Structure 1
Protein backbone atom coordinates (compact mmCIF):
# COMPACT_ATOMS: atom_id res chain seq x y z
CA UNK A 1 0.00 0.00 0.00
CA UNK A 2 1.36 3.33 -1.04
CA UNK A 3 1.13 6.42 1.09
CA UNK A 4 0.97 9.87 -0.44
CA UNK A 5 3.89 12.02 0.51
CA UNK A 6 3.20 15.58 1.48
CA UNK A 7 4.99 18.14 -0.71
CA UNK A 8 8.40 19.13 0.45
CA UNK A 9 8.36 22.65 1.94
CA UNK A 10 10.09 25.28 -0.16
CA UNK A 11 12.90 26.95 1.78
CA UNK A 12 12.58 30.69 2.23
CA UNK A 13 16.17 31.36 1.25
CA UNK A 14 16.02 30.07 -2.31
CA UNK A 15 17.86 32.49 -4.64
CA UNK A 16 15.71 34.85 -6.71
CA UNK A 17 15.71 33.77 -10.34
CA UNK A 18 18.28 35.56 -12.46
CA UNK A 19 15.65 37.11 -14.73
CA UNK A 20 13.86 38.68 -11.77
CA UNK A 21 17.14 40.03 -10.41
CA UNK A 22 17.96 41.59 -13.75
CA UNK A 23 14.51 43.19 -13.95
CA UNK A 24 14.82 44.61 -10.43
CA UNK A 25 18.27 45.99 -11.19
CA UNK A 26 17.00 47.56 -14.42
CA UNK A 27 14.02 49.22 -12.69
CA UNK A 28 16.28 50.50 -9.90
CA UNK A 29 18.74 51.89 -12.47
CA UNK A 30 16.04 53.82 -14.32
CA UNK A 31 14.54 55.14 -11.09
CA UNK A 32 17.95 56.42 -10.03
CA UNK A 33 18.55 57.84 -13.50
CA UNK A 34 15.19 59.68 -13.47
CA UNK A 35 15.83 61.05 -9.98
CA UNK A 36 19.30 62.27 -10.98
CA UNK A 37 17.92 63.93 -14.10
CA UNK A 38 15.21 65.64 -12.06
CA UNK A 39 17.76 66.99 -9.58
CA UNK A 40 20.01 68.22 -12.40
CA UNK A 41 17.07 69.94 -14.11
CA UNK A 42 16.18 71.62 -10.82
CA UNK A 43 19.77 72.75 -10.25
CA UNK A 44 19.99 74.11 -13.78
CA UNK A 45 16.69 75.95 -13.49
CA UNK A 46 17.64 77.50 -10.16
CA UNK A 47 21.03 78.56 -11.52
CA UNK A 48 19.45 80.20 -14.59
CA UNK A 49 16.85 82.10 -12.57
CA UNK A 50 19.59 83.30 -10.28
CA UNK A 51 20.65 85.68 -13.06
CA UNK A 52 17.71 85.64 -15.51
CA UNK A 53 14.37 87.11 -14.44
CA UNK A 54 11.54 84.53 -14.67
CA UNK A 55 9.31 85.75 -17.53
CA UNK A 56 6.15 83.75 -16.76
CA UNK A 57 4.92 81.23 -14.21
CA UNK A 58 2.39 78.42 -13.92
CA UNK A 59 0.37 80.60 -11.54
CA UNK A 60 0.15 83.38 -14.10
CA UNK A 61 -0.89 80.90 -16.77
CA UNK A 62 -3.71 79.65 -14.55
CA UNK A 63 -4.86 83.17 -13.68
CA UNK A 64 -4.83 84.19 -17.35
CA UNK A 65 -7.58 81.64 -18.02
CA UNK A 66 -9.88 83.54 -15.65
CA UNK A 67 -9.13 87.18 -16.47
CA UNK A 68 -6.65 89.26 -18.49
CA UNK A 69 -3.37 89.89 -16.68
CA UNK A 70 -2.32 93.44 -15.89
CA UNK A 71 0.84 94.35 -17.79
CA UNK A 72 3.89 94.11 -15.58
CA UNK A 73 7.53 95.10 -15.59
CA UNK A 74 10.45 93.69 -13.61
CA UNK A 75 11.78 95.93 -10.84
CA UNK A 76 15.25 95.43 -9.30
CA UNK A 77 15.27 95.24 -5.51
CA UNK A 78 17.14 98.55 -5.26
CA UNK A 79 14.20 100.27 -6.98
CA UNK A 80 11.61 98.91 -4.53
CA UNK A 81 10.91 101.13 -1.54
CA UNK A 82 12.51 99.88 1.70
CA UNK A 83 9.05 100.19 3.26
CA UNK A 84 7.74 97.54 0.84
CA UNK A 85 10.63 95.18 1.51
CA UNK A 86 10.13 95.53 5.26
CA UNK A 87 6.37 95.09 5.04
CA UNK A 88 6.43 91.88 3.02
CA UNK A 89 9.08 90.28 5.25
CA UNK A 90 7.24 91.34 8.40
CA UNK A 91 4.03 89.89 6.98
CA UNK A 92 5.31 86.63 5.56
CA UNK A 93 8.64 85.68 7.12
CA UNK A 94 10.06 87.84 9.93
CA UNK A 95 13.08 85.51 10.35
CA UNK A 96 13.91 85.63 6.63
CA UNK A 97 17.50 86.78 7.18
CA UNK A 98 18.37 84.15 9.76
CA UNK A 99 17.03 80.86 8.37
CA UNK A 100 18.32 78.64 5.53
CA UNK A 101 14.99 78.28 3.74
CA UNK A 102 12.93 76.59 6.44
CA UNK A 103 12.01 78.44 9.64
CA UNK A 104 12.37 75.67 12.20
CA UNK A 105 11.29 77.97 15.05
CA UNK A 106 7.94 78.63 13.37
CA UNK A 107 7.56 75.00 12.32
CA UNK A 108 8.01 73.87 15.93
CA UNK A 109 5.42 76.42 17.08
CA UNK A 110 2.90 75.15 14.54
CA UNK A 111 3.51 71.53 15.55
CA UNK A 112 3.29 72.34 19.27
CA UNK A 113 0.03 74.24 18.80
CA UNK A 114 -1.45 71.56 16.56
CA UNK A 115 -2.34 74.34 14.17
CA UNK A 116 -3.40 73.83 10.57
CA UNK A 117 -1.72 77.05 9.44
CA UNK A 118 1.50 76.80 7.54
CA UNK A 119 4.98 78.10 8.34
CA UNK A 120 6.00 78.68 4.74
CA UNK A 121 8.97 81.02 4.32
CA UNK A 122 9.53 83.58 1.57
CA UNK A 123 12.15 81.23 0.10
CA UNK A 124 9.63 78.38 -0.09
CA UNK A 125 7.03 80.65 -1.64
CA UNK A 126 9.56 81.96 -4.15
CA UNK A 127 10.50 78.41 -5.16
CA UNK A 128 6.82 77.56 -5.58
CA UNK A 129 5.97 80.74 -7.48
CA UNK A 130 8.95 80.57 -9.83
CA UNK A 131 9.05 76.86 -10.65
CA UNK A 132 5.87 75.09 -9.53
CA UNK A 133 2.09 75.30 -9.41
CA UNK A 134 -0.25 76.45 -6.62
CA UNK A 135 -2.49 73.39 -6.18
CA UNK A 136 -1.68 71.59 -2.95
CA UNK A 137 -0.39 68.07 -3.42
CA UNK A 138 2.35 65.84 -2.07
CA UNK A 139 4.37 65.87 -5.33
CA UNK A 140 4.34 69.69 -5.37
CA UNK A 141 5.32 69.88 -1.70
CA UNK A 142 8.13 67.38 -2.27
CA UNK A 143 9.45 69.39 -5.22
CA UNK A 144 9.20 72.60 -3.18
CA UNK A 145 11.17 70.96 -0.36
CA UNK A 146 13.93 69.96 -2.78
CA UNK A 147 14.04 73.36 -4.51
CA UNK A 148 14.09 75.52 -1.37
CA UNK A 149 17.63 74.69 -0.14
CA UNK A 150 18.91 74.97 -3.71
CA UNK A 151 17.49 78.49 -3.98
CA UNK A 152 19.02 79.42 -0.63
CA UNK A 153 22.41 78.00 -1.65
CA UNK A 154 22.58 79.61 -5.10
CA UNK A 155 20.78 82.94 -4.64
CA UNK A 156 21.43 85.83 -2.28
CA UNK A 157 18.71 86.84 0.17
CA UNK A 158 18.29 90.01 -1.85
CA UNK A 159 17.73 88.02 -5.05
CA UNK A 160 15.17 85.78 -3.32
CA UNK A 161 13.20 88.79 -2.10
CA UNK A 162 13.44 90.49 -5.50
CA UNK A 163 12.05 87.46 -7.33
CA UNK A 164 9.33 87.03 -4.71
CA UNK A 165 8.13 90.63 -5.00
CA UNK A 166 8.14 90.48 -8.80
CA UNK A 167 6.13 87.24 -8.99
CA UNK A 168 3.71 87.57 -6.06
CA UNK A 169 0.03 88.04 -6.83
CA UNK A 170 -1.43 91.24 -5.36
CA UNK A 171 -4.94 90.98 -6.78
CA UNK A 172 -6.90 89.26 -9.57
CA UNK A 173 -4.56 89.30 -12.56
CA UNK A 174 -2.08 91.61 -10.79
CA UNK A 175 1.35 90.02 -10.53
CA UNK A 176 4.49 91.74 -9.33
CA UNK A 177 5.11 94.86 -7.31
CA UNK A 178 5.29 97.15 -10.34
CA UNK A 179 1.79 96.22 -11.51
CA UNK A 180 0.49 96.29 -7.93
CA UNK A 181 1.81 99.77 -7.14
CA UNK A 182 0.40 101.14 -10.39
CA UNK A 183 -2.97 99.37 -10.27
CA UNK A 184 -3.75 99.94 -6.60
CA UNK A 185 -2.09 103.27 -5.80
CA UNK A 186 -1.19 104.86 -9.18
CA UNK A 187 2.45 105.05 -8.17
CA UNK A 188 5.77 103.29 -8.69
CA UNK A 189 7.40 100.72 -6.38
CA UNK A 190 10.10 103.15 -5.24
CA UNK A 191 7.48 105.68 -4.04
CA UNK A 192 5.31 103.37 -1.96
CA UNK A 193 4.68 104.73 1.53
CA UNK A 194 4.74 102.70 4.73
CA UNK A 195 0.95 102.55 4.82
CA UNK A 196 0.60 101.56 1.16
CA UNK A 197 3.29 98.89 1.56
CA UNK A 198 1.59 97.44 4.65
CA UNK A 199 -1.76 97.30 2.84
CA UNK A 200 -0.22 95.55 -0.17
CA UNK A 201 1.53 93.02 2.07
CA UNK A 202 -1.73 92.40 3.92
CA UNK A 203 -3.43 90.94 0.82
CA UNK A 204 -0.77 88.30 0.14
CA UNK A 205 -2.45 85.36 1.91
CA UNK A 206 -5.65 85.93 -0.13
CA UNK A 207 -4.88 88.34 -2.99
CA UNK A 208 -8.14 87.61 -4.83
CA UNK A 209 -10.43 88.34 -1.90
CA UNK A 210 -8.65 91.13 0.03
CA UNK A 211 -8.28 94.74 -1.04
CA UNK A 212 -5.27 96.97 -0.26
CA UNK A 213 -7.48 100.03 -0.56
CA UNK A 214 -8.89 99.53 2.93
CA UNK A 215 -6.91 99.53 6.17
CA UNK A 216 -7.30 96.42 8.32
CA UNK A 217 -6.09 95.05 11.62
CA UNK A 218 -3.63 92.94 9.64
CA UNK A 219 -2.16 95.90 7.74
CA UNK A 220 -1.74 97.85 10.98
CA UNK A 221 -0.01 94.86 12.57
CA UNK A 222 2.28 94.55 9.54
CA UNK A 223 3.18 98.24 9.80
CA UNK A 224 4.22 97.74 13.44
CA UNK A 225 6.10 94.57 12.55
CA UNK A 226 7.99 96.29 9.74
CA UNK A 227 9.20 99.00 12.10
CA UNK A 228 10.19 96.35 14.65
CA UNK A 229 12.37 94.27 12.32
CA UNK A 230 13.99 97.47 11.00
CA UNK A 231 15.00 98.38 14.57
CA UNK A 232 16.14 94.98 15.82
CA UNK A 233 18.40 94.11 12.87
CA UNK A 234 16.31 91.33 11.32
CA UNK A 235 16.18 93.29 8.05
CA UNK A 236 19.94 93.60 7.62
CA UNK A 237 20.16 91.16 4.72
CA UNK A 238 17.89 93.08 2.34
CA UNK A 239 18.15 96.77 3.28
Structure 2
Protein backbone atom coordinates (compact mmCIF):
# COMPACT_ATOMS: atom_id res chain seq x y z
CA UNK A 1 0.00 0.00 0.00
CA UNK A 2 2.81 2.40 0.89
CA UNK A 3 4.56 1.61 -2.36
CA UNK A 4 1.42 2.38 -4.36
CA UNK A 5 0.86 5.69 -2.61
CA UNK A 6 4.45 6.75 -3.00
CA UNK A 7 4.49 5.80 -6.68
CA UNK A 8 1.27 7.74 -7.26
CA UNK A 9 2.61 10.78 -5.41
CA UNK A 10 5.84 10.48 -7.36
CA UNK A 11 4.01 10.36 -10.71
CA UNK A 12 1.97 13.43 -9.77
CA UNK A 13 5.03 15.36 -8.64
CA UNK A 14 6.88 14.32 -11.80
CA UNK A 15 4.17 15.87 -14.00
CA UNK A 16 5.20 19.12 -15.68
CA UNK A 17 4.23 22.24 -13.76
CA UNK A 18 1.79 23.51 -16.48
CA UNK A 19 -0.03 20.16 -16.36
CA UNK A 20 -0.35 20.33 -12.58
CA UNK A 21 -1.69 23.87 -12.83
CA UNK A 22 -4.20 22.81 -15.46
CA UNK A 23 -5.40 19.92 -13.30
CA UNK A 24 -5.75 22.17 -10.28
CA UNK A 25 -7.63 24.80 -12.26
CA UNK A 26 -9.95 22.22 -13.82
CA UNK A 27 -10.67 20.73 -10.39
CA UNK A 28 -11.43 24.18 -8.99
CA UNK A 29 -13.90 25.01 -11.76
CA UNK A 30 -15.64 21.65 -11.51
CA UNK A 31 -16.17 22.17 -7.77
CA UNK A 32 -17.22 25.79 -8.39
CA UNK A 33 -19.84 24.86 -10.99
CA UNK A 34 -21.23 21.97 -8.94
CA UNK A 35 -21.51 24.11 -5.82
CA UNK A 36 -23.25 26.92 -7.71
CA UNK A 37 -25.64 24.44 -9.34
CA UNK A 38 -26.60 23.03 -5.94
CA UNK A 39 -27.12 26.54 -4.53
CA UNK A 40 -29.27 27.58 -7.49
CA UNK A 41 -31.43 24.45 -7.18
CA UNK A 42 -31.81 24.87 -3.43
CA UNK A 43 -32.68 28.54 -3.85
CA UNK A 44 -35.32 27.84 -6.50
CA UNK A 45 -36.88 25.15 -4.31
CA UNK A 46 -37.07 27.56 -1.35
CA UNK A 47 -38.65 30.24 -3.56
CA UNK A 48 -41.34 27.91 -4.93
CA UNK A 49 -42.15 26.79 -1.40
CA UNK A 50 -43.94 30.13 -0.94
CA UNK A 51 -44.30 31.55 -4.47
CA UNK A 52 -46.42 29.82 -7.10
CA UNK A 53 -44.53 28.87 -10.30
CA UNK A 54 -45.78 31.30 -12.98
CA UNK A 55 -44.67 29.24 -15.99
CA UNK A 56 -42.83 26.01 -16.70
CA UNK A 57 -40.59 24.78 -19.52
CA UNK A 58 -43.30 22.31 -20.51
CA UNK A 59 -45.80 25.14 -20.92
CA UNK A 60 -43.32 27.18 -22.96
CA UNK A 61 -42.73 24.26 -25.33
CA UNK A 62 -46.46 23.51 -25.57
CA UNK A 63 -47.22 27.16 -26.37
CA UNK A 64 -45.13 26.84 -29.53
CA UNK A 65 -47.39 24.05 -30.77
CA UNK A 66 -50.86 25.32 -29.82
CA UNK A 67 -52.62 27.94 -27.75
CA UNK A 68 -52.68 27.37 -24.01
CA UNK A 69 -55.99 27.34 -22.19
CA UNK A 70 -56.30 30.13 -19.63
CA UNK A 71 -55.29 28.86 -16.22
CA UNK A 72 -55.62 30.07 -12.64
CA UNK A 73 -53.77 28.91 -9.57
CA UNK A 74 -56.01 27.00 -7.17
CA UNK A 75 -54.99 26.54 -3.51
CA UNK A 76 -55.18 22.94 -2.33
CA UNK A 77 -58.05 23.76 0.04
CA UNK A 78 -60.16 24.75 -2.97
CA UNK A 79 -59.61 21.46 -4.77
CA UNK A 80 -62.10 18.70 -4.07
CA UNK A 81 -60.60 16.13 -1.64
CA UNK A 82 -61.63 13.34 -4.00
CA UNK A 83 -59.53 14.97 -6.75
CA UNK A 84 -56.47 15.01 -4.49
CA UNK A 85 -57.00 11.36 -3.54
CA UNK A 86 -57.61 10.32 -7.14
CA UNK A 87 -54.31 11.81 -8.35
CA UNK A 88 -52.38 10.21 -5.52
CA UNK A 89 -54.09 6.84 -6.05
CA UNK A 90 -53.31 6.99 -9.77
CA UNK A 91 -49.73 8.24 -9.65
CA UNK A 92 -48.23 7.48 -6.23
CA UNK A 93 -50.38 5.62 -3.69
CA UNK A 94 -47.56 5.66 -1.11
CA UNK A 95 -47.07 9.43 -1.42
CA UNK A 96 -47.51 9.99 2.32
CA UNK A 97 -45.14 7.16 3.25
CA UNK A 98 -41.92 7.98 1.38
CA UNK A 99 -39.35 10.80 1.32
CA UNK A 100 -39.42 11.39 -2.43
CA UNK A 101 -38.36 7.98 -3.72
CA UNK A 102 -40.58 4.92 -3.29
CA UNK A 103 -37.85 2.34 -2.66
CA UNK A 104 -40.33 -0.53 -2.29
CA UNK A 105 -41.80 0.23 -5.71
CA UNK A 106 -38.34 0.64 -7.23
CA UNK A 107 -37.31 -2.78 -5.92
CA UNK A 108 -40.46 -4.33 -7.41
CA UNK A 109 -39.72 -2.82 -10.82
CA UNK A 110 -36.09 -3.98 -10.72
CA UNK A 111 -37.06 -7.48 -9.59
CA UNK A 112 -39.68 -7.84 -12.32
CA UNK A 113 -37.37 -6.53 -15.03
CA UNK A 114 -40.13 -4.22 -16.15
CA UNK A 115 -39.43 -1.13 -18.23
CA UNK A 116 -42.13 0.88 -16.49
CA UNK A 117 -41.01 3.64 -14.17
CA UNK A 118 -41.49 4.05 -10.43
CA UNK A 119 -41.61 7.83 -10.47
CA UNK A 120 -43.23 9.42 -7.42
CA UNK A 121 -45.40 12.53 -7.31
CA UNK A 122 -42.45 14.44 -5.87
CA UNK A 123 -40.25 13.41 -8.79
CA UNK A 124 -42.97 14.33 -11.25
CA UNK A 125 -43.41 17.70 -9.55
CA UNK A 126 -39.68 18.35 -9.84
CA UNK A 127 -39.81 17.50 -13.54
CA UNK A 128 -42.98 19.48 -14.27
CA UNK A 129 -42.09 22.58 -12.27
CA UNK A 130 -38.39 22.92 -13.10
CA UNK A 131 -37.30 20.68 -15.95
CA UNK A 132 -38.28 19.43 -19.39
CA UNK A 133 -40.22 16.37 -20.52
CA UNK A 134 -37.74 14.82 -22.95
CA UNK A 135 -36.03 11.81 -21.39
CA UNK A 136 -32.29 12.12 -20.88
CA UNK A 137 -29.65 11.29 -18.29
CA UNK A 138 -29.17 15.01 -17.61
CA UNK A 139 -32.84 15.51 -16.83
CA UNK A 140 -32.97 12.41 -14.63
CA UNK A 141 -29.89 13.54 -12.71
CA UNK A 142 -31.39 16.99 -12.11
CA UNK A 143 -34.71 15.42 -11.10
CA UNK A 144 -32.93 13.12 -8.65
CA UNK A 145 -31.12 16.09 -7.09
CA UNK A 146 -34.26 18.24 -6.84
CA UNK A 147 -36.51 15.57 -5.34
CA UNK A 148 -34.97 15.38 -1.81
CA UNK A 149 -34.69 19.19 -1.74
CA UNK A 150 -38.39 19.51 -2.45
CA UNK A 151 -39.22 16.96 0.24
CA UNK A 152 -37.00 18.88 2.70
CA UNK A 153 -38.43 22.35 2.06
CA UNK A 154 -42.02 21.71 1.00
CA UNK A 155 -44.86 20.05 2.85
CA UNK A 156 -46.68 17.14 1.25
CA UNK A 157 -49.68 19.43 0.77
CA UNK A 158 -47.51 21.96 -1.07
CA UNK A 159 -46.07 19.26 -3.33
CA UNK A 160 -49.54 18.07 -4.28
CA UNK A 161 -50.79 21.64 -4.76
CA UNK A 162 -47.95 22.52 -7.15
CA UNK A 163 -48.36 19.24 -9.02
CA UNK A 164 -52.09 19.76 -9.57
CA UNK A 165 -51.53 23.32 -10.79
CA UNK A 166 -48.77 22.62 -13.33
CA UNK A 167 -49.67 19.12 -14.58
CA UNK A 168 -50.90 18.80 -18.15
CA UNK A 169 -54.42 17.39 -18.50
CA UNK A 170 -54.60 17.59 -22.30
CA UNK A 171 -53.02 19.51 -25.17
CA UNK A 172 -52.55 23.03 -23.84
CA UNK A 173 -54.57 22.31 -20.70
CA UNK A 174 -52.36 22.94 -17.68
CA UNK A 175 -53.54 22.91 -14.09
CA UNK A 176 -56.64 21.62 -12.38
CA UNK A 177 -58.60 24.85 -12.88
CA UNK A 178 -58.29 24.69 -16.67
CA UNK A 179 -58.85 20.92 -16.66
CA UNK A 180 -62.08 21.06 -14.66
CA UNK A 181 -63.44 23.83 -16.88
CA UNK A 182 -62.38 22.37 -20.23
CA UNK A 183 -63.36 18.77 -19.60
CA UNK A 184 -66.42 19.10 -17.37
CA UNK A 185 -67.43 22.79 -17.32
CA UNK A 186 -67.04 22.95 -13.57
CA UNK A 187 -64.63 24.18 -10.90
CA UNK A 188 -62.01 22.15 -9.00
CA UNK A 189 -63.98 22.23 -5.75
CA UNK A 190 -67.08 20.73 -7.40
CA UNK A 191 -65.49 17.76 -9.13
CA UNK A 192 -67.33 14.50 -8.53
CA UNK A 193 -65.57 11.18 -7.83
CA UNK A 194 -66.16 10.04 -11.43
CA UNK A 195 -64.85 13.30 -12.89
CA UNK A 196 -61.82 13.30 -10.59
CA UNK A 197 -60.94 9.73 -11.52
CA UNK A 198 -61.22 10.49 -15.23
CA UNK A 199 -58.97 13.53 -14.96
CA UNK A 200 -56.41 11.52 -13.01
CA UNK A 201 -56.55 8.81 -15.67
CA UNK A 202 -55.54 11.37 -18.33
CA UNK A 203 -52.26 12.26 -16.62
CA UNK A 204 -49.96 9.47 -17.90
CA UNK A 205 -50.53 10.53 -21.52
CA UNK A 206 -52.21 13.96 -21.61
CA UNK A 207 -51.62 14.53 -25.32
CA UNK A 208 -52.96 11.21 -26.57
CA UNK A 209 -55.43 10.05 -23.95
CA UNK A 210 -58.72 11.86 -23.45
CA UNK A 211 -61.22 11.38 -20.65
CA UNK A 212 -63.34 8.96 -22.70
CA UNK A 213 -60.41 6.70 -23.58
CA UNK A 214 -59.31 6.71 -19.94
CA UNK A 215 -62.69 5.65 -18.56
CA UNK A 216 -61.65 2.02 -17.94
CA UNK A 217 -58.58 3.05 -15.98
CA UNK A 218 -60.64 5.61 -14.09
CA UNK A 219 -62.68 2.85 -12.46
CA UNK A 220 -59.62 1.39 -10.72
CA UNK A 221 -58.49 4.91 -9.78
CA UNK A 222 -61.84 5.59 -8.12
CA UNK A 223 -61.46 2.38 -6.12
CA UNK A 224 -57.89 3.34 -5.20
CA UNK A 225 -58.97 6.80 -4.05
CA UNK A 226 -61.52 5.25 -1.73
CA UNK A 227 -58.95 2.76 -0.46
CA UNK A 228 -56.31 5.34 0.54
CA UNK A 229 -59.03 7.37 2.25
CA UNK A 230 -59.90 4.34 4.40
CA UNK A 231 -56.41 3.08 5.22
CA UNK A 232 -54.89 6.45 6.13
CA UNK A 233 -52.55 6.90 3.18
CA UNK A 234 -54.23 10.23 2.39
CA UNK A 235 -53.62 11.67 5.85
CA UNK A 236 -50.66 13.90 4.90
CA UNK A 237 -52.63 16.04 2.46
CA UNK A 238 -56.22 15.90 3.77
Shorter-chain TM range is over 0.9
Range that drifts further, 14-23 or 208-217: 208-217
Q: Distance in 2 between matches of 1:230 and 1:112?
A: 29
Which residue is 2:193 aligned to? 194
Which residue is 2:122 aligned to? 123
Which residue is 1:33 aligned to? 32
Which residue is 1:228 aligned to? 227
Partner-residue secondary structure (3-state), 1:170: coil
Which residue is 1:95 aligned to? 94
CA deviation map 1:24-44 (0-9, x unaligned): 010000000000000000001
Q: How does 1:25-64 map to 2 (within 5 A)?
A: 25-64=24-63
Question: What TM-score, normalized to structure 1?
Answer: 0.94
Q: Distance in 2 between matches of 1:227 and 1:75?
A: 23
Q: Distance in 2 between matches of 1:65 and 1:131?
A: 18
CA-atom RMSD, angstroms? 1.2
Residue 214 of structure 1 and its aligned partner are, at CA, apart by: 5.4
Matched-pair contact (CA < 8 Å) for 1:171–1:208: yes
Q: Distance in 2 between matches of 1:193 and 1:216?
A: 14
Question: What TM-score, normalized to structure 2?
Answer: 0.94
CA deviation map 1:41-97 (0-9, x unaligned): 000100000000000000001111111000000000000000100000000000000
User: Structure 2, unaligned stretches of length 5 or more?
Assistant: 1-6
Count of residues paired in the alignment: 229
Which residue is 2:149 aligned to? 150
Partner-residue secondary structure (3-state), 2:169: strand
User: Structure 1, unaligned stretches of length 5 or more?
Assistant: 1-10
Matched-pair contact (CA < 8 Å) for 1:81–1:189: yes
Which residue is 2:3 aligned to? none
Which residue is 2:4 aligned to? none
Which residue is 2:205 aligned to? 206
Residue 213 of structure 1 and its aligned partner are, at CA, apart by: 4.0
Q: Distance in 1 between matches of 2:151 and 2:182?
A: 31
The structure whose Rg is larger is 1
Residue 215 of structure 1 and its aligned partner are, at CA, apart by: 5.8
Q: Distance in 2 between matches of 1:23 and 1:70?
A: 52
Q: Distance in 1 between matches of 2:38 and 2:148?
A: 12
Partner-residue secondary structure (3-state), 1:102: coil
Which residue is 2:178 aligned to? 179
Which residue is 2:159 aligned to? 160
Residue 212 of structure 1 and its aligned partner are, at CA, apart by: 1.4
